[in-house]
Amino acid sequence: MNETALTRVRIVLVEPAGALNVGSVARVMKNMSLNQLILVKPNCDRFSDDARLMAVHGIDVLEKSQVVDSIPEALQGCHRIIATTGRSLSLPTHLETPRDALPWLLTEDLNTALLFGPEDRGLNNQELNYAQRFVYIPANSDYSSLNLAQAVAVCSYELYQAAQKPTENNSDSSFNPAAFEALEGYYQHLEAVLLKIGYLYPHTAKARLEKFRRLYNKANLTTEEVALLRGILRQVDWACHHFPSHNQGEGNGE
């Protein structure tokens, strides 16, 4: 692995509140050869004096950072996404340490992202749904909460260290993982079809779809596999229009 892979990793901050934190993140990214910083609906001015003061020689990372309105917009074109969390999730999900999980983001031919939540609450379950893997930073159980910039620093360091090691390439030229937008399109299509056939009910659809997301994330679907699954949904759509409606609604939407 070499440092080229680091340039393909996006550091995504969701609703950051502090300009000092944003500037500090830009600085540590520069330290660790990371240069893609994306801010989702920031609640601070990334070009303020405070941010520039903390960025120091990472000012170029700060100046070319992007601001977007949503997490999906920040993740467009990404094939591997890891989210950070400091809490147990409502659904059974394997939490990994940065050292174990983050090398997965280092590929020379795929866009990847590392997602951080707001300083005051972290990422909620809906926001975590966009990721395929989840990391936590082991810390003193008496006080395990890290400042946003500190969390980014720990993860950036682990990414940089992993990039220095002569490990096997994390990408396979014959493997074509589905991009974020292809997966999101499939999930929206799946929800619509499952509601139509009565497998899902509106009041439980959100929780049920979270489980489907976890299932498919484990499978690491390729572009071709997503196309195959969407073909099945299209056929179900067709059948709904050509067969009596009384055959529907016998599902397990719970």
pLDDT in tens, 73-113: 999 999 999 999 986 555 567 899 999 999 999 988 899 99
Q: Which residue has the tokens 């692995």?
A: 1
Q: What is the pTM assigned to this prediction?
A: 0.86
Residue 172: the pLDDT is: 54
Residue 249: the pLDDT is: 52
Measuring CA to CA, how many Å separate 7 from each of 32, 53, 108, 128?
10, 24, 9, 23
Query: Which phi and psi angles does 172 have, rounded to 5°?
Result: -125, 120
Which of 82-91, 206-215, 224-233 is modeled with the greatest confidence?
A: 224-233
- CATH 1.10.8.590 maps onto the chain at 180-247
Q: Which two tokens stand for residue 245?
A: 């409606």
Angle at 195 between CA 124 and CA 192, to 5 degrees: 75
Third-level CATH fold of 180-247: Helicase, Ruva Protein; domain 3 (1.10.8)
For 3-164, give the CATH class: alpha beta
Residue 242: the pLDDT is: 80
- CATH 3.40.1280.10 maps onto the chain at 3-164
Cβ neighbors of 94 (< 8 A, separation 6 or more) are 133, 134
Q: Which two tokens stand for residue 163?
A: 């990039």
Lowest mean pLDDT, pick from 56-65, 112-121, 140-149: 140-149
Q: What is the average pLDDT across 184-202?
A: 93
